[in-house]
Amino acid sequence: MRKLLRKLLRFFNGLLDRVVAVCGVVGLAQFPQFFGQYIQRLGGHLAEAQFMLVRFELMAEYFNMTLEEYIKTHLNSGNEVFASSGQLINELLSRIQMLEETLTRLRNATVYNRWWVFIREFDYEIVRETWVDFTPGLPTTLEGLVYSVCGLFVAWGVFQGIKSLLKGIAKIIKTIFIRPRDYRVPL
């Protein structure tokens, strides 16, 4: 009975090991796909912000002003409504600069450090929007292969770590609750 149980546990261990490995490969292989969709959405946010800025520049030009003069006129108007629109234009300029810098850094990242640049630079709202519309796929590029192999090793390492931790806990529990019996015959 004990042999059968041991073989059954070994079978499930091997099966679970392979399932975890496949999940790691498929899961991390999604990163290039998600990254590409995130870049597209980030570019869309940048294009929309630039479009709004062009409208403000056209308004400034209509009044024979530079954009900076237009903003200063709004900020120094003494009217809360106009001052708030000046602040809004300043925030728009800052957002455009941040989006341009982020997009440049993400596009210039290599295959090997792209994940790290992404973690440092991501915008939570854009990540959330990307995730809502994310379409999974298996990339057939070198980048997809690299992330798949990394996913295999990460998943396998985490699985082995959890398995070792559980074995250690089981060993501690066994030593606490199952004490060796004294089989000596009393004299």
Amino acid at 99: L
pLDDT (0 to 100) of residue 20 = 85
pLDDT (0 to 100) of residue 28 = 82
Looking at the structure of the chain, the number of domains it has is: 1
- Rounded Cα–Cα distance for residues 31 and 38 (Å): 10
Q: What is the pLDDT of residues 34-46, one digit of tens each?
A: 998 999 999 999 9
Q: What is the pTM of this model?
A: 0.73
- Looking from the CA of 30 toward its CB, the CA atoms found within 13 Å total 11
| 156 occurs within a structural domain | yes
pLDDT (0 to 100) of residue 19 = 87
| 29 occurs within a structural domain | yes
| 87 occurs within a structural domain | yes
| 172 occurs within a structural domain | yes
pLDDT (0 to 100) of residue 184 = 63
Amino acid at 94: S
| 116 occurs within a structural domain | yes
Q: Note down the domain range covering 166.
A: 11-177
pLDDT (0 to 100) of residue 185 = 61
| 184 occurs within a structural domain | no
Question: Which parts of the chain have pLDDT scores under 50?
Answer: none
pLDDT (0 to 100) of residue 180 = 60
| 138 occurs within a structural domain | yes
| 144 occurs within a structural domain | yes
Phi/psi region, residue 178 (left: phi>0; alpha: psi -120 to 50; beta: rest), is: beta
